Amino acid sequence: MKYLIILLAIAACNNAPSPAEALVKEGSNAVASTKEDSNIPEIVSDSIVPAQYLDGKLVKVEKTEDTWKSELKEEEFRVLRKEGTERAFTGDLWNNHEPGIYVCAGCGLPLFASETKFESGTGWPSFFKPIRTDCIADKTDNSYGMDREEVECARCGGHQGHVFPDGPPPTGLRYCINSVSLNFVKQ
Active-site residues: which are they? 176
Q: Where are the beta strands (DSSP E) in the chain?
A: 24-26, 29-31, 53-54, 57-58, 100-104, 110-113, 117-118, 126-127, 136-141, 148-153, 159-164, 174-177, 182-186
Q: Do 52 and 58 touch, CB atoms closer than 8 A? A: yes
Taking the C-alpha atoms of residue 135 and residue 109, their distance in angstroms, rounded to an integer, is 7
Report how far apart, in Å, the C-alpha atoms of 35 and of each of 51, 81, 86, 139 are.
10, 30, 35, 27
Q: Collapsing DSSP states into helix, strand and coil, what is residue 11?
A: helix
Q: What residues form DSSP beta bridges with 26?
A: 29
Taking the C-alpha atoms of residue 98 and residue 131, their distance in angstroms, rounded to an integer, is 17
φ/ψ of residue 127, rounded to 5: -135, 150
